[in-house]
Amino acid sequence: MNKRLHYVIDGDDFTSAGQASGDVKKVLKTLGVPSEIVRKASIAMYEGEINMVIHADGGVIDVDIMPDRIVMALKDSGPGIPNVEEAMQAGFSTAPDTIRNLGFGAGMGLPNMKKYTDSMEIDTKVGVGTTITMTVKIV
């Protein structure tokens, strides 16, 4: 059941943020992936998608669905993460109050992405952008 999905995330539209993750969730369900795996993958991608909109003015997401795993690569050309270790701490956030008023920016995004996936790699450079690659095992 190899399948590749590609999404362009609009950085200006907070209302439609999450559409891509919702679509991936639907596809995974249709493919018969176990529901707990679907849930983990879609929560992790949703957090990443929201982060892209909040911090990086959007980006692109590629999802590879393979028989044994789901690989999600989120790439943006945003400001980059100056200190990854700090950003990984639960509660650390640089989101403005406008974002907190929308229910996000509690500093749980990256820790959540790590928690809900089997592996997560962050490749980031200040002023250039960030690529986060997450893998969720199916079997």
Partner 1 sequence: MKVSEIAEILNAEIVAGKELADMEINSACGSDMMSDVLAYFKDQGILLTGLVNPQVVRTAEMMDIKCIAFVRGKRPDGTLTDLAEERGIVVMLTDETMFTACGLLYSNGLTEAGRHE
Residues 29-48 that bind partner 1 (CB under 8 A): 35, 39, 42-43, 46-47
Cβ-proximal residues to 38 (8 Å cutoff; 6+ apart), any chain: 25, 28, 29
Our finding on whether 108 is near partner 1 (CB under 8 A) is yes
Strand order in the sheet with 58-65: 3-10, 58-65, 69-76, 129-137, 119-125
Least distance from C-beta 125 to partner 1, angstroms?
26
- Asked if 111 contacts 38 with a C-beta cutoff of 8 angstroms, the reply is no
Closer residue to partner 1 (CB): 22 or 129: 22
CA–CA dist 13, 109 (Å, integer):
18
**Which pair of tokens denotes residue 57?**
């003015």
Closer residue to partner 1 (CB): 17 or 73: 17
Our finding on whether 22 is near partner 1 (CB under 8 A) is yes
Closer residue to partner 1 (CB): 21 or 135: 21
- Asked if 72 contacts 23 with a C-beta cutoff of 8 angstroms, the reply is no
The footprint of partner 1 (CB under 8 A) covers 14-15, 17-18, 21-22, 25, 35, 39, 42-43, 46-47, 50, 90, 102-109, 111-112, 115
